[in-house]
């Protein structure tokens, strides 16, 4: 069919080839490449320096971390991985090496470090790509030139493509084409030494790849699903209990019920004030989710970092949360710490300049401990070097705390070139930090208690049942598709991405005064089949007037239903089945059936929530005793008589199970 379309977002599909149909390897793209639908039927892709979870599955966790940091600018993290035993010459199942990954997205210093560790510059992956092919394709002229100088060959890939043909930038093409005529002898490689000024690679390598870019998300506060000021204190305790089980679900619950307004500063203050688990806070705030990123930026922005050093800044962060054990998570967190530390000191420096005191610095005696404040800022080049120094300091603290040894010279050698453009952190800065860490002055345990003063909320009822709820999202716009999944599956998949209230309805649905059957709405209305959704085993918890749905007994809920808006439509003892629907106030509405569907609020693990609506919620119990208990209680709490509902809440049967 001619040339194949390729990208670096694709991976091999399976391990077997169907030779009689196609002799070429079959690849599939894991990301949107912008290809036309017709083109995607016959294109294949090369890895091009990209790794995936399945291609890294067979290697050790240390090597997986190395792949993560090889494609970054955090040289300190990459080297600490080698300290912990990672192999710099490791490759994934596609043959992609650390140097392939670094040539694609890693900083120039990361590329140089890997080459100096004798990583093969001519290593080929499953598609015949070398690191030079990757660097040329990505338009990285400084990396391409360095690889050529270190002995990289301009070979062809399995598709017959040379680095020259893959060049995406004219300047990179000039470097690759013109180098063969003046190829010098490759210098000897070995262990990285103290960095020296290097003017040969002053092109794009003079600034780190992607350095200095800081993104702040656009944030729009969400409106809560319910407002319950009378039950605020009890719901606060319940929300913290859910947060301590699963932080994302807890944040979603707190905002969905209006317990806390959807403002980052208020959410963070609420979690700290009510003593949420510091370990859970650290893990959640260092996630990549947009909600977690927003909370992280606000949390770090509120920290008093002015006048601190590396040690004291780490301690300031850990007063209200625990620094994650995950290297990738703590890397995100410390990048933010370095950014706001630098920002606060820049503002202080600008204020001094306005007041005419820009020269009023009191030099700090190195023997007094670590360098702090503006003195530390003057000793560094920027936030990137500070970020890597903080990361290396934390790794040193953990390494020594685990009983290992590392001398000052070894740590300084490990930090060689981690400052911007391959420069070194000043020795007196590192000496003060090492002295504090080695003498166990760095204390990173969260000061506040992780145990709330409140007792965990007790569920009124607690048992398992088979649940069926086929709902559609309550959003504006056209219904792109009717979700063919249970609420549990939808919550695990991140909710319904494209749908709306204004979907087509069955013929005559708006003219019926009776409630439509579930099977009527179970599929897109132009779809065939019976349209029935399978039941799913679900753990039910009833807290006052909130019915929670969870996958198992010990997990956080993935959804809840407010029984204040529900009516007991049917309780069939023959099949042990209870059916809930939306309570209709007064006359049956003459407008749309949509307005009288039962609402279920999905709680998503990233901190978002989404409201689904459906005609019915069906619960089928295995135990007749459970059915009788639930049916009797729901009959009272879902009664149209408000007095009976209040009496039921006061006299609810409490079990011994807790939500946390």
173 phi/psi in degrees, rounded to 5: -65, -40
* Mean pLDDT across the chain: 78
Q: Which of 182-186, 323-327, 437-441, 641-645 is modeled with the greatest confidence?
A: 323-327
**How far apart, in whole angstroms, are the C-alpha atoms of residue 568 and residue 571?**
7
Assess contact for 206 and 421: CB atoms under 8 A: yes
The rounded percent of the chain whose pLDDT value lies above 70 is 71
CB atoms within 10 A of CB 196: 8
Closest CA to 126 of 11, 236, 285: 11
Average pLDDT of span 145-151: 91
Residue that the structure tokens 């204020």 belong to: 351
Q: Quick one: average pLDDT of 418-441?
A: 92
Predicted local distance difference test score (pLDDT) of residue 232: 77
**Could you tell me if 260 and 266 are in contact, meaning their C-beta atoms sit under 8 angstroms apart?**
yes
HEC readout, 372-409:
EHHHHHHHCCCHHHHHHHHHHHHHHHHHHHCCCCCCHH
Q: Is the pLDDT of residue 657 over 90?
A: no
Predicted confidence at residue 651, as pLDDT, reads 63
| Residue 540 pLDDT > 50 | yes
Extract the tokens encoding 111.
């590329």
pLDDT band for 201, please (50, 70, 90 cuts): very low
Both tokens assigned to 264:
């980052």
Is pLDDT larger for residue 647 or for residue 636?
636
Residue 500 CA to its chain's centroid (Å): 26
Task: Tell me how far apart the alpha carbons of residues 570 and 59 are, in angstroms, rounded to a whole number.
Answer: 55
pLDDT of the residue at 134? 92
Q: Helix, strand, coil % (nearest 5) of the chain?
A: 40, 10, 50
CA distance 34 to 26: 19
Give residue 355's pLDDT.
77
Place of tokens 């860490």: 437
- Asked whether the predicted pLDDT for residue 332 surpasses 90, the reply is yes
Query: Residue 176's pLDDT band (boundaries 50, 70, 90)?
Result: confident
Kindly state the average pLDDT of the residues 325-341.
96
Q: Which of 238-252, 443-457, 634-648 has the highest mean pLDDT?
A: 238-252
Distance CA 173, CA 524 (A): 53
Per-residue pLDDT at 446: 60
Contacts of 425 (CB under 8 A, 6+ apart): 379, 380, 385, 389, 415, 418, 419
- Overall average pLDDT of the 125-151 stretch: 91
The share of the chain scoring above pLDDT 90, in percent, equals 47
Q: Which of 323-337, 441-455, 497-511, 528-542 is predicted with the least confidence, judged by mean pLDDT?
A: 497-511
Please choose, from the candidates 198, 101, 88, the residue with its C-alpha nearest in 3D space to the C-alpha of residue 149.
Answer: 198
In 167-230, where does DSSP find H-type helix? 170-179
- Domains of the chain plus CATH, in order, are 46-183 (1.25.40.20), 277-438 (1.10.1000.11), 461-650 (2.30.29.30)
Looking at residue 70, what is its pLDDT? 95
pLDDT in tens, 7-47: 544 444 443 333 333 433 444 444 434 444 434 444 467 88
pLDDT in the model for residue 182: 63
Q: What's the gap between Cα 358 and its chain centre?
A: 41
Q: At 476, is the pLDDT very low, low, confident or very high (cuts 50, 70, 90)? A: low
Q: Is residue 659 scored above 60 in pLDDT?
A: no
Residues 424/392, Cβ–Cβ less than 8 Å:
no
Per-residue pLDDT averaged across 527-556, rounded? 78
Whether 530 shows a pLDDT value over 80: the answer reads no
pLDDT tens, 215-252?
455 567 888 888 766 667 888 999 999 999 999 999 99
Query: Helices in 257-382 by DSSP H: which ranges?
Result: 264-273, 278-285, 290-301, 310-317, 327-355, 373-379
pLDDT at 492: 80
What are the tens digits of pLDDT across the range 159-171?
A: 888 888 888 777 7
> Residue ranges of the alpha helices (H) in 73-195?
75-83, 98-105, 108-116, 131-137, 141-149, 163-166, 170-179
Q: Taking 90 as the threshold, does the pLDDT of residue 588 lie above it?
A: no
* pLDDT for residue 406: 96
Task: Specify the residue for token string 């319950």.
Answer: 228
pLDDT digits (tens, 9 = 90+) for 371-428: 999 999 999 999 999 999 999 999 999 999 999 999 999 999 999 999 978 899 999 9
> Which residues sit opposite 155 in a β-bridge?
none
With CA atoms as reference, report the closest residue to 318 among 293, 365, 285.
285
35-44, 179-188, 193-202, 638-647 — most confident range: 638-647
pLDDT of residue 217: 52
CB atoms within 10 A of CB 523: 18
So what's the pLDDT on residue 483? Answer: 64
Stretch among 14-18, 47-51, 300-304 having the lowest mean pLDDT: 14-18
Q: Which residue has the higher pLDDT, 182 or 140?
A: 140
Q: Is 338 exposed, middle or buried (0-12, 13-18, 19+ CB in 10 A)?
A: buried
What's the confidence (pLDDT) of residue 222?
Answer: 86
Confidence of residue 649 (pLDDT cuts 50, 70, 90): low
Contact (Cβ atoms closer than 8 angstroms) between residue 313 and residue 371: no
Confidence of residue 444 (pLDDT cuts 50, 70, 90): confident
Helix axes 75-83, 108-116, angle to 10 degrees: 30
């Amino acid at each position: 069919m001619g040339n194949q379309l390729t990208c670096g977002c694709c991976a091999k599909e399976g391990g077997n080839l169907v030779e009689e149909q196609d002799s070429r390897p079959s690849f599939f793209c894991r990301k949107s490449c912008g290809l036309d639908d017709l083109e995607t039927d016959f294109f294949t892709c090369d890895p091009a320096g990209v790794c995936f979870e399945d291609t890294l599955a067979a290697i050790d966790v240390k090597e997986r971390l190395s792949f993560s940091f090889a494609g970054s600018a955090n040289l300190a993290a990459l080297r600490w991985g080698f300290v912990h035993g990672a192999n710099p010459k490791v490759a994934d199942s596609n043959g992609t090496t650390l140097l392939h990954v670094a040539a694609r997205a890693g900083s120039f210093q990361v590329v140089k470090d890997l080459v100096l560790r004798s990583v093969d510059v001519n290593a080929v992956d499953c598609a015949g790509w070398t690191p030079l092919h990757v660097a040329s394709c990505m338009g990285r002229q400084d990396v391409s030139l360095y690889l050529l100088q270190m002995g990289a060959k301009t070979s062809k890939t399995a598709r017959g493509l040379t680095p020259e043909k893959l060049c995406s930038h004219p300047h990179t093409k000039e470097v690759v084409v013109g180098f063969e005529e003046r190829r010098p002898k490759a210098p000897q490689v070995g262990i990285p030494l103290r960095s020296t000024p290097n003017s040969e690679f002053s092109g794009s390598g003079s600034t780190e790849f992607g350095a200095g870019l800081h993104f702040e998300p656009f944030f729009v506060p969400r409106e809560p699903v319910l407002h319950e000021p009378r039950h605020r204190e009890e719901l606060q305790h319940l929300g913290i209990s859910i947060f301590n089980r699963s932080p994302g679900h807890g944040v979603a619950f707190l905002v969905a019920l209006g317990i806390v307004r959807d403002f980052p500063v208020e959410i963070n203050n609420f979690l700290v004030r009510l003593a949420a688990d510091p370990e859970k806070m650290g893990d959640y705030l260092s996630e990549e989710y947009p909600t977690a990123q927003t909370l992280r930026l606000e949390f770090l922005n509120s920290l008093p970092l002015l006048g601190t050093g590396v040690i004291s800044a780490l301690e300031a962060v850990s007063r209200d949360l625990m620094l994650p054990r995950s290297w990738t998570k703590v890397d995100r967190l410390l990048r933010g710490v370095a950014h706001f530390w630098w920002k606060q000191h820049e503002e202080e420096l600008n204020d001094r300049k306005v007041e005419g005191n820009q020269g009023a610095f009191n030099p700090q005696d190195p023997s007094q401990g670590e360098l702090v404040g503006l003195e530390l800022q003057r000793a560094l080049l920027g936030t990137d070097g500070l970020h890597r120094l903080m990361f290396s300091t934390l790794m040193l603290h953990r390494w020594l705390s685990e009983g290992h040894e590392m001398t000052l010279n070894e740590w300084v050698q490990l930090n060689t070139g981690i400052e911007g453009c391959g420069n070194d952190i000043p020795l007196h800065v590192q000496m003060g930090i090492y002295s504090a860490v080695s003498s166990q002055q760095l204390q990173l345990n969260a000061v506040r208690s992780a145990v709330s003063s409140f007792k965990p909320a007790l569920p009124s009822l607690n048992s398992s049942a088979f649940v069926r709820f086929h709902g559609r999202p309550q959003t504006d716009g056209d219904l792109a598709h009717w979700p063919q999944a249970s609420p549990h599956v939808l919550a695990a998949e991140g909710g319904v991405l494209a749908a709306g209230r204004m979907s087509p309805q069955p013929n005559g649905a708006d003219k019926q005064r009776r409630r439509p059957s579930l099977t009527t709405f179970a599929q897109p209305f132009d779809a065939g089949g019976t349209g029935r959704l399978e039941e799913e085993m679900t753990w039910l918890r009833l807290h006052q007037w909130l019915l929670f749905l969870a996958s198992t007994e010990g997990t956080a809920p993935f959804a809840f239903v407010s029984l204040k808006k529900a009516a007991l439509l049917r309780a069939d003892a023959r099949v042990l089945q209870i059916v809930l629907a939306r309570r209709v106030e007064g006359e049956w509405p003459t407008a749309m059936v949509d307005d009288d569907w039962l609402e279920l609020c999905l709680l998503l693990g990233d901190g978002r929530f989404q409201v689904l609506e459906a005609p019915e919620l069906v619960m089928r119990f295995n135990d007749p005793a459970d059915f009788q208990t639930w049916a009797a209680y729901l009959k009272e709490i879902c009664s149209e008589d408000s007095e009976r509902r209040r009496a039921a809440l006061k006299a609810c049967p409490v079990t011994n199970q807790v939500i946390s």
